């Protein structure tokens, strides 16, 4: 999904800060590709997957018809947020199943990206802003596993794999 937003950012000449959007799309794409090599692995498409796919196609169509990258970026954000919903639910119900350091690093990356934004418009700032919000949400949901102890949050424990 972020690959569509990245492509739209490139067409809008966003520049260096579009690399975060590329990374947000490239790593899941790599995992997806590797999943085909795991003979014991499996995945099933749900209606949510089809909905996200539909929104990604709608983003491309809106971009082609209007020639405005902003429409593709906004629809990509909606699709990515829907795709992140199951992870958020899992993090809420089973925070120990996720590593909060992953989301903390993503949030820090988003802050750095937002610090170099040169033009505050949808093409330049929307996707990094969205990534900051979703990363912080997932961080808060997953870090709860470490804050239930009397000693509070131990940063070294948080950063262990």
Torsion of CA 14, 19, 24, 26, to 10 degrees: 120
- Where does the pLDDT of residue 55 fall: very low under 50, low under 70, confident under 90, or very high at 90 and above? confident
* Residue 153 in this model has a pLDDT that exceeds 70: no
Return the CA Rg of the chain: 17
What is the C-alpha to C-alpha distance for residues 10 and 21, in angstroms, rounded to an integer? 10
pLDDT of residue 49: 76
**DSSP secondary structure of 92-154:** HH-GGGS-HHHHHHHHHHHHHHHHT-SS-SIIIIIHHHHHHHHHHHHHHHHHHHHHTSTT---
The two structure tokens encoding residue 102? 């992953």
Query: Of the ranges 16-20, 71-75, 86-90, 106-110, which is most confident?
Result: 106-110
Contact status, residue 59 vs residue 75, Cβ threshold 8 Å = yes
* Residue 147 in this model has a pLDDT that exceeds 70: no
Per-residue pLDDT tens digits for 84-139:
888 888 888 888 888 999 999 999 999 999 999 989 999 999 999 999 999 999 99
Q: Where are the alpha helices (DSSP H) in 67-95?
A: 69-93
* Residue 148 in this model has a pLDDT that exceeds 60: no
The mean pLDDT of the chain is 84
Minimum mean pLDDT among 15-24, 104-113, 148-157: which range? 148-157
The two structure tokens encoding residue 145? 């596993």
pLDDT of residue 63: 84
- Where does the pLDDT of residue 158 fall: very low under 50, low under 70, confident under 90, or very high at 90 and above? low
- Where does the pLDDT of residue 155 fall: very low under 50, low under 70, confident under 90, or very high at 90 and above? low
pLDDT of residue 36: 73
Contact status, residue 59 vs residue 72, Cβ threshold 8 Å = yes
**What are the residues whose beta carbons fall under 8 Å from the beta carbon of 90, sequence distance 6 or more?**
97, 98
Q: Where are the alpha helices (DSSP H) in 17-68?
A: 18-35, 47-66
């Amino acid at each position: 999904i972020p690959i569509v937003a990245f492509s739209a950012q490139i067409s809008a000449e966003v520049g260096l800060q579009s690399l975060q959007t590329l990374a947000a799309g490239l790593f899941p794409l790599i995992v997806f590709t590797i999943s085909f090599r795991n003979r014991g692995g499996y995945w099933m498409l749900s209606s949510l997957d089809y909905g996200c796919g539909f929104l990604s196609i709608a983003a491309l169509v809106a971009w082609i018809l209007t020639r405005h990258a902003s429409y593709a970026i906004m629809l990509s954000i909606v699709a990515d947020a829907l795709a992140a919903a199951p992870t958020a639910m899992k993090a809420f119900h089973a925070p120990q199943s996720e590593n909060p350091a992953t989301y903390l690093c993503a949030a820090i990356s988003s802050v750095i990206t937002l610090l170099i934004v040169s033009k505050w418009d949808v093409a330049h700032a929307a996707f990094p802003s969205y990534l900051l919000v979703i990363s912080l949400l997932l961080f808060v949901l997953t870090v709860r596993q470490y804050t239930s102890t009397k000693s509070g949050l131990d940063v070294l424990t948080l950063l262990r794999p």
